Chain A
């Protein structure tokens, strides 16, 4: 008998597919959180694989802040259409009304659009399981989170009270009011994600590739002026060849100078680079253990 040794990517792929199938058979109303980033792109691709030839039996949900890059909105709509999946977009009506934005409202911006917005959307539709693209290698508090992670009725995470998770036998039974966050990419690293995108030819937002873009410097972050809502106060944006290693709200997402215009070049740059990917995000810099605190409060 010849042995067919599975590569690490094949094993990670199989694991993610297994997890997704466990969710749809055990949850009453699952949904996939779709943030249009590279991790979401991989997760959506895996969902198509998991249920083929059926379409994935759940909708996509984008918790929108109205401050994403324009390229992200374009890909979001196209990707959902191509997958034959329903796309739900939720914008926190309170944040809309109060005009919450990253320039004037600091931490409140993330809190209201993302944390509150997510809770609202899940409650509104009654979703009891939400897939998220978070990886354990991103951040220390995520390294300890289970693949099936339970939230109380008020969406809080209790790191001290997690269920043991053995083999690939997942306990998805929930108590009244509880919901699950499920992370099929838990065991993937940033390099795995890029390699998989390369290998599977997955479409990603063009902003990951280097191009000449208008930029300004703010608090040590190089920001892209994506639309005319960016308050410049007379400053003239500088055209630089930049790309993004991670994508969020454009006024909060730092770019890196780069000439990488192909996936191998991006991977090359990533491997030779010396800063971790979350550094480009303002959200983690708030305080030590900030992500753990945000998660406990209901941030994904």
Chain B
């Protein structure tokens, strides 16, 4: 009889004593990873079954399902307990992260069940992000596979310090010690190559129940812990976290009335007592803790993992997204980082495009540079990469639009792990792990100049402006831009026309027409246009600029009110019919790749300041309309 079965007697005889024990249980979150047929669902099903987390009615369903769709003949197919959604049940595979719960005398466990197929790296990363431990399953007959290496690498990357190598299906190799020892040696060689310092190997059989909750008679040569025993005793990350300096990102400013001002958040690291000196970042302001407020009364000490409300002795500014730290051990603040990026969206990363970056409660705008390299998660090789597509992992520099407090991911998942959100779709498209800040940001300061932009503009007696024309190739942008400039010149306005084709002969001649290059093209043009507005000019641009995000990015670079988006709206059929430069014909013939409107998308503006319907007005009329809007 295992420990878990003995508890029934205690529950029946002395429920109060039982509750007392259970109130003091700790919690371990772990993930299980394995390839499709490694027996992962069976193992989890077995853990649930053996810890009595399956009720009679569920068992009845399980037995019926086992006969109907199971893979174990008349025997119970534990995997069916775990495979959740209807679609998956039909396919016979798990396809997403599912969470399972069971508990023993000592601990409550949350298991993230993550699938093993290649295309679902993102699910495993999701499951691993909250786990303290990973169980890496391998089939004793198959040994260390590509998937094994990938799962181990991902678990290690996501900062899981405890790895268990569960060598499953030992029953199918006759519980042979030599097989086990060889597999462990193979795995050790690989683990060391990616700096995994330790792991716990256990020979098991999920189907037969060997060494899972109870020690197996079949493996007398094995003297290590059985799986559950190890899960019950392994050291928790939360203990290690308390030894670090104090850090708490502020989630919410708690202000019920004028007499109370507290800062609510979940402590990311360390311990805190009233009277401790603190520093708020990025402002750097310092104060002292006066109270640690909770609903159950003020605390004498608060530790990592607790959700609290802090009050300061002084009235200093502090808001959502800022980080309260120990005064003597503050975190770093920077706006440029190197990070590992895991891409999680069908639509690939576009280097240079602005995404929302959310680290803890703070959301900022950020761009990812072209990756330094991509990692082949099967061989750990570094590959050259221009972008990252779904499930790809790479290393790249990130630039945020303001300073953020952070730590390396290694140091703290809360302060070093971030997600990237697409600004248009609002999907979570990537996850990032901060390595370190780039010093560049700190060493380049703004040189202040005596003659400012206002001075430049007043000399020219005009308001600087960017007239940003966007539209398909052949829509008439350049023609209209040229007329606008001529008319403004006659009105003695100082202008400059930046034309897409012309810029590509010089400033941007190193760029092609991939999505990433298009973004960089627009970013550079935006920067040039910005300098010209600083010089007091009216800048007219004629670029296809097909993506909304980049047009928004350029708008964001300019002073408020100095950017006018003008949509030169010519339907594709019309532009193609005109085909002034013969480009559509080439594109249709397949001689020109990534041509906007043909095999590359154009995202029309949703609310342009001016829309020019070229099928209903001449270029001259269009130019007049624009000037009217510019100089009313």
Contact = CB atoms under 8 A, between A and B. Distances in A.
Interface centre among B18, B25, B89, B101 (most CB of A within 10 A): B101
B209 interface: no
A90 to B, nearest CB: 28
B255 interface: yes
Contacts of A21: 251-252, 264-265, 307
B266 A168 contact: yes
Contact of A292 (B23, B85, B305, B418): B85
B309 interface: yes
Nearest to A48: B295
B15 interface: yes
Contacts of B107: 8
A4 to B, nearest CB: 5
Interface residues of B, number: 82
Interface stretch (B124-132, B181-189, B380-388, B621-629): B124-132
B236 interface: yes
Interface in B51-104: 55-58, 84-87, 89, 96-101, 103
Interface in A51-102: 51-55
A141 B88 CA distance: 11
Nearest to B253: A25
Given A136-B101, A268-B12, A174 B426 contact: yes
B98 A22 contact: no
Interface centre among A51, A163, A186, A275 (most CB of B within 10 A): A163
Interface in B271-306: 271, 293-296, 301, 303, 305-306
A6 interface: yes
B431 interface: yes
Contacts of A274: 55-56
B119 interface: no
Interface stretch (B134-142, B355-363, B483-491, B504-512): B355-363
B98 A169 contact: no
A171 to B, nearest CB: 5
A105 interface: no
Given A171-B428, A192-B108, A14 B306 contact: yes
B25 A8 contact: yes
A1 interface: yes
B57 A52 contact: no
A187 B110 contact: yes
A166 B126 contact: yes
Contact of B303 (A6, A51, A167): A6
Given A53-B254, A164-B344, A173 B426 contact: yes
B421 A289 contact: no
Contacts of A49: 294-296
Interface centre among A51, A140, A199, A279 (most CB of B within 10 A): A140
Contacts of B293: 52-53
B250 to A, nearest CB: 10
Contacts of B85: 140-141, 144, 159, 289, 292
Given A6-B238, A14-B306, A275-B56, A167 B414 contact: yes
A237 B415 CA distance: 61
Contacts of A48: 295
B228 interface: no
A154 interface: no
Nearest to A137: B101
Contacts of A51: 252, 254, 264
B19 interface: yes
B254 A1 contact: no
B129 A166 contact: yes
B27 interface: yes
B192 interface: no
Interface in B436-465: none
A131 to B, nearest CB: 15
Interface string B242-253: 110000000110
Contacts of A167: 129-130, 413-414, 417
Contacts of B427: 163
A270 B360 CA distance: 38
A116 B36 CA distance: 40
Interface string A94-122: 00000000000000000000000000000
B129 A7 contact: no
B252 A186 contact: no
A4 B236 CA distance: 12
A140 to B, nearest CB: 4
A18 B266 contact: yes
A4 B84 contact: no
Contacts of A136: 99, 101
B3 interface: no
A124 interface: no
Contacts of A24: 252
Interface in A194-210: 195, 198-199
A153 interface: no
A199 B130 contact: no
B358 A292 contact: no
Interface in A20-39: 21-22, 24-25
A17 interface: yes
Given A5-B239, A165-B126, A272-B11, 10 more contacts: A5-B238, A6-B306, A14-B307, A21-B307, A52-B294, A137-B100, A143-B100, A144-B99, A171-B421, A198-B19
Q: Which 4 A-B pairs have the closest CB atoms?
A: A8-B27, A17-B307, A289-B86, A276-B55
26 contacts: A3-B243, A4-B271, A4-B301, A4-B303, A7-B24, A8-B27, A8-B103, A51-B252, A51-B254, A52-B293, A55-B256, A141-B86, A144-B96, A144-B98, A144-B99, A163-B428, A166-B130, A167-B129, A168-B414, A173-B356, A174-B426, A187-B110, A264-B16, A267-B19, A271-B11, A292-B86
